[in-house]
Chains A and B, each alone.
Chain A
Amino acid sequence: MKHLLSIDDLSAADITDLLDLTDHMVEIGQRPIPKVPALRGKNVVSLFFEDSTRTRTSFDTAAKRLSADTLNFAVSSSSVNKGESLRDTIETITAMGVDAFVVRHRSSGVPQMLTAWTTASVINAGDGWHQHPTQALLDCYTIRTGLNRRDGFDGLTVAVVGDVKHSRVARSDVDAFAKLGARVILVAPPTLLPTHVETWPVEVSHDLDSVLGELDVLYLLRVQRERMDDGLLPSLREYSTCYGLTAARAGALPGHALVMHPGPMNRGVEMVVDPGELPGSVILHQVANGVAVRMAVLFRLLGAGTDLKGHA
């Protein structure tokens, strides 16, 4: 594995392998000194063309726990704003000696484009509406530990609720959940579903209340205010009424069901109830698992080589 661009590139076995590796990383995180020398001397550059303090910090922490050197390329103050092309930027930084780029961009496909211009590994930290593979992996890890499902998600039912159309989290999560065997239901008004949704490995519902009782996981997506301007929603209030998680809806979930959200949350829109009062909320676990999953990804990409024959 050279790059991590999309869940599409991973098999169920690849995902399971990364989640197994994450167990080790969780353990490292619990040590008195949560740092190992595994990636000493490796240089990880984060290249965020779109702001995301959470994801950038999470990758940064992950790299540091593995003793990699990290460098933040601050796009706002860089020559990218002076008209330097993406290609020149990547080739220049590559020439300085980089082992991995962690890339966030508002345009779908940019991480994949970069692979043509660098010898370093490229990790997609979110591109446009396309993919956010480490989010999907950390979500899978959270479900796996939360519901004790080490061997896959066969028999689990997961609802992904909200603005699927514009969501890279949804595109990655749906792929990953389905690959691990879960039944995935998208719940949203038709305007917030992607076109040609029939080609996705999902079922579709427009009635949240009718599916709550059969869920093992309720995954809420962020709904953004600008969707109203695009004529996709009449109002956030109406969205909230139909698709928001209220106390009553939370009560209709099975007792064991997990409630998840990729953050940042819109309180009062998709999340009407206080998540702190939800017994099934694992939203903070998602954040904590993010570091371990990203350590696993970094280690798999930068620490992996061929097996030595014979073990001492």
Chain B
Amino acid sequence: MERSRRREVLSADDVGRALTRIAHEVVERNHGLDGVVLVGLQRGGVWVAEALAERLATAGAAPPIGTLDVSFHRDDVGLRPIVPGSVTEIGFALDGAAVVLCDDVLYTGRTVRAALEALNEYGRPRSVQLAVIVDRGHRELPIRPDYVGKNLPTSRDENVTATADGVVIE
């Protein structure tokens, strides 16, 4: 595969600093961590939720983490493979919680829309906030993130990968 266009836009350290900043913003916005829960979107958002929880633990008690598989709620259901093992696991009540949805890259907004719908079936949270490592634009729905690691202008034919090791565009 042609790799010449591959470029790293955030290093591992950059990503770590962004997560630390987002952790602070979460505490600030929610006046502490009371009632805050983290829900990572399968699969790219799970590590984000875990990394965020790690940093929040240093600021006080670690919030509970859940995972959410939105495959069956998507409007483009069937166009994507269902990934084995990436099931929903929310081991706590959502009623009255402040849910921070975590994902790696925010793009069209359709995954988040599906997640909002899926969350409804587990309870009625007090609020839902959205944390992403990268917002690459090109939204197709009226959705905006509450916490962003980096705003990254991209073109539609580029691929963006965000992991703890850095953010790469190819």
Which residues from chain A sit less than 8 Å from chain B, CB to CB?
A: 17, 20-21, 23-24, 27-28, 31-33, 35-39, 66, 299, 302-308, 310-312
Which chain B residues lie closer than 8 Å to A27 at the CB level? 69, 87-89
Shortest Cβ gap from B61 to chain A (Å): 26
Residues of A contacting B87 in the complex (Cβ-Cβ under 8 angstroms)? 23-24, 27
Contact A307 B79, CB 8 Å, known A23-B84, A32-B123, A35-B121? yes
> When A and B form their complex, which 8 residue pairs have the shortest distance between CB atoms, in order from nearest?
A20-B84, A36-B72, A312-B107, A38-B72, A303-B78, A33-B121, A305-B78, A27-B87
Shortest beta-carbon distance, A307 to chain B, in Å? 6
B151 interfacial by beta-carbon distance below 8 Å: no
CB distance from B45 to the nearest CB of A (A): 12
Interface residue from B69, B72, B89, B110 paired with A37 (Cβ < 8 Å): B72
Contact, CB under 8 Å: B110 / A304? no
30 pairs, CB–CB < 8 Å, chain A vs chain B: A17-B84, A20-B85, A21-B82, A21-B84, A23-B87, A24-B71, A24-B72, A27-B69, A27-B88, A27-B89, A31-B88, A32-B122, A32-B123, A33-B121, A35-B121, A36-B73, A37-B72, A37-B117, A38-B72, A38-B78, A39-B77, A299-B78, A299-B82, A304-B78, A307-B80, A307-B81, A308-B76, A308-B79, A308-B80, A312-B110
- A-facing residues in B121-164 (Cβ within 8 Å): 121-123, 159
Q: Is A303 a contact of B77 with CB atoms below 8 Å? A: yes
Q: How far is the CA of A41 from the CA of B56 in the complex (A)?
A: 43
Give bound CA distance, A23 to B69, whole Å.
12
The answer to whether A312 touches B72 (Cβ under 8 A) is no
B167 to chain A, nearest CB (A): 15
Q: How large is the interface on B (under 10, 10 to 19, 20 to 34, 35 or more residues)?
A: 20 to 34
Chain B residue numbers with a CB within 8 Å of A306 are 79
Given contacts A21-B82, A36-B73, contact A31 B110 (CB under 8 A): no
| Cβ–Cβ contact B79 & A24, under 8 A | no
Asked if A311 contacts B80 (CB within 8 A), the reply is yes
| Closest chain A residue, CB of each to CB of B111 | A312
How many angstroms from the CA of A311 to the CA of B81 in the assembled complex?
10
Q: Which residues of B contact A23 (CB under 8 A)?
A: 84-85, 87
Q: Determine the main DSSP class of B at the interface with A.
A: loop
Bound Cα distance A39, B69 (Å)? 16
Cβ–Cβ < 8 Å partners of A28 in chain B: 72, 88
Q: Give the chain A neighbours of B110 by CB distance below 8 A.
A: 312
Residues of A within 8 A of B71 (CB): 24, 38
Min CB gap A312→B, angstroms? 4
B105 within 8 A of partner (CB)? yes
Chain B interface (Cβ < 8 Å from any Cβ of A):
69, 71-73, 76-82, 84-85, 87-89, 105, 107-108, 110-111, 117-118, 121-123, 159
A311 nearest CB neighbor, chain B only: B80
Say whether, besides A32-B121, A35-B121, A305-B79, A312 and B105 are in contact (CB < 8 Å): yes
Minimum CB–CB distance for B37 against chain A, Å = 16
Q: Are A38 and B73 in contact (CB under 8 A)?
A: yes
Q: How far, in whole Å, are A32 and B94 apart by their CA atoms in the complex?
A: 11
**Whole-angstrom distance between the alpha carbons of A37 and B84 in the complex?**
19
Roughly how many angstroms separate A299 CA and B73 CA in the complex, as a whole number? 12
Roughly how many angstroms separate A143 CA and B161 CA in the complex, as a whole number?
Answer: 38
Whole-angstrom CA separation of A305 from B79 in the bound complex: 5
**Chain A residues within an 8 Å CB radius of B69:** 24, 27
Q: Which residues of A contact B73 (CB under 8 A)?
A: 36-38
- Distance of A137 from chain B, by nearest CB (Å): 15
- Find out whether the CB atom of A31 lies under 8 angstroms from the CB atom of B72: no
Assembled-state Cα–Cα distance A306/B81 (Å): 8
Contact of A24 among B78, B82, B121, B159 (CB under 8 A): B82
B84 surroundings in chain A (CB, below 8 A): 17, 20-21, 23
Closest chain-A Cβ to B95's Cβ sits at a distance in Å of 10
